[in-house]
Structure 1
Amino acid sequence: MTTAVEAPAVRARTITRRYADRTVLHELDLEIRRGEFVALIGKSGCGKTTLLRTLAGLDRLDGGDLTVPSSSTVVFQEHRLLPWEKVWRNVALNLPRATARSRAQSALEEVGLGDHADVWPVTLSGGEAQRVALARALVREPELLLLDEPFAALDALTRIRMHGLVRDLIARHRPAVLLVTHDVDEAILLADRVLTMRDGRIAADHPVTGPARHRGDPAFVSLRAELLSELGVVEQ
């Protein structure tokens, strides 16, 4: 008996995006399965953010074929909370009125902020604000979650806590995930696959095994060195 293979949640075939005379995405191919966490790294200007915006429907294509889920959400580096709305209303934006409060409350409890529902965003720390942004994204049960350097502005300890929270939330909700990051360690610790982007294409695709998720393991050290080399970085 043959088992049916689930179609990828994201499927890009030779997609191209141009700005004036510059090609930013150059016949790029990409697949992401439901429940899979993919991290994307690369030098500034290689096309990472353009790819994320294209998957989010915020940027158009100039060629190729792209299939993405009908439901997707984005978490940016800036939390983008509305300061004139209380926290729960930020989470509940555009939800049906009848269930908005209860769904927002449940989402806030998932990120450990159930007791912050009625406070103003200005009272939140940076880490708390990003947790609210995550709650706002996941309350809609997206099939595709796009993360655009969401931890870059956080201090080191808060970032570590956020990593654990994100892993738990994604395991629970199982969206397809694309994380754009400049942090190689972060990419290895979070992702199932780490992609290196160069000149508008996916230049390398590295699966991340269980041992590589531990900083002291030789697999982590080896993969980290390989990724840094692909980025043109040689550690002394």
Structure 2
Amino acid sequence: MTKLQPIRVEGLSRRFGDQTVLDDLDLTIHQGEFVALLGRSGSGKTTLLRTLAGLDAVEEGSVAVPRNVAVVFQESRLLPWRRVWQNVALGLPGHDARDRAVAALEEVGLSHRLDAWPLTLSGGEAQRVGIARAMVREPDFLMLDEPFASLDALTRLRMQAMVSELWQKHRCAVLLVTHDVDEALLLGDRAVVLDRGRISRSFSINMSRPRHHDDPAFAPARKDLLASLDVFETSRNAA
């Protein structure tokens, strides 16, 4: 495996009018690291992701990312006039584009839906196609912008397990933007909390994989992460 430089964000600031969304932000993500980014709505999470993806300009500070990056958004953004495999193969060079798309769809459990039209897919299937479209490019850096937010609870758990398996197989660097504390703990090597455009907390998640809610370390880690977001659970046994 080629040694890649870490993803580095240094002194990044982003303003919209008189509103500061990112404020002199520093962040490093190492090769193969899975980072979960949390924060309240409006804390700057999506703005940071869009900047890393090259969708927003860097006006103050510096950003260094690999050339080979991929993004999965909350909406699958599939082209309805192209079949599933064609959506995955879109933009791929070479005569083996279809074969590569088929292999990526097999990885996400959709080999039986190759020729389906996007409008016939369930929400979970559509997101699997979106993930296959990202992974077929073998990215060095994968960004996920709340990709499971619109899915039902059971589908979300299945998708989380699938993403974990894909990451362990491919070992690209990952940045997952999420509002879900449990999701961050189930997937991330590290949780980073963004508050008012700055990193207010960053800590390692030291649990063995595959992870489960009944891991003895899960509840304390969840309590700690919620507290970092100023959320405090009241004990059910409290008077």
| Same-fold call, TM cutoff 0.5 | yes
1:169 maps onto 2:174 in alignment: no
CA contact (8 A) 1:151 1:162 kept: yes
Select which of 58, 70, 75 maps to 1:73: 70
Query: Per-residue displacement from partner, 1:207-235 (whole Å, max 9, x unpaired)?
Result: 00125943223321111111111212121
Of 91, 94, 98, the match for 2:95 = 98
Using structure 2 for the length normalisation, give the TM-score: 0.93
Match of 1:219 in 2: 217
Local SS of the residue matching 2:186 = helix
Asked if 1:204 corresponds to 2:201, the answer is yes
The residue type paired with residue 207 of structure 1 is: S
Count of residues in correspondence between the two structures = 231
Displacement, 1:176? 0.7
**TM-score, with structure 1 as normaliser:** 0.94
Cα distance change, pair 8–201 in 1 and its aligned pair in 2 (3 A): farther
What 5-or-longer segments of structure 1 have no aligned partner? 1-5
Q: Deviations over 1:39-96 (max 9, x none)?
A: 0000110100000000000011221121001111110111111111000000001012
- In structure 2, what is the Cα distance between the partners aligned to 1:62 and 1:203? 22
Any conservation in 2 of the 1:8–1:31 contact (CA below 8 Å)? no
- CA distance in 1: counterparts of 2:228 and 2:170, whole angstroms: 32
Tell me which residue corresponds to 1:3.
none
Aligned residue for 1:95, secondary structure, equals coil
Structure 2 CA distance for aligned equivalents of residues 96 and 157 of structure 1:
36
Give the match for residue 139 of structure 1: 136
Q: Residues 72-121 of structure 1, C-alpha deviation per residue, up to 9 Å, x if partnerless?
A: 11101111111110000000010125111111111111111112111101
Q: Give the distance between the partners of 1:109 and 1:7, measured in 2 at CA.
A: 28
- CA deviation map 1:14-62 (0-9, x unaligned): 1111111111111111111111100000011010000000000001122
Instruction: Report what 1:59 is aligned to.
Output: 56
Task: Give the alignment partner of residue 114 of structure 2, picking from 108, 112, 117.
Answer: 117
Runs of 4+ in 1 over 4 A off after TM superposition: none
What CA distance in whole angstroms lies between the structure 1 residues aligned with 2:150 and 2:117? 20
Q: Secondary structure at the match of 2:199?
A: strand
Cα-Cα RMSD: 1.3
1:90 counterpart SS class: helix
Q: Which residue matches 2:179? A: 182
TM-fit CA distance, 1:175: 1.2
Stretch deviating more after TM superposition (97-106 or 213-222): 213-222
Q: Where do 1:23-62 residues align within 5 Å?
A: 23-62=20-59
Q: Which residue does 2:230 correspond to in 1? A: 232
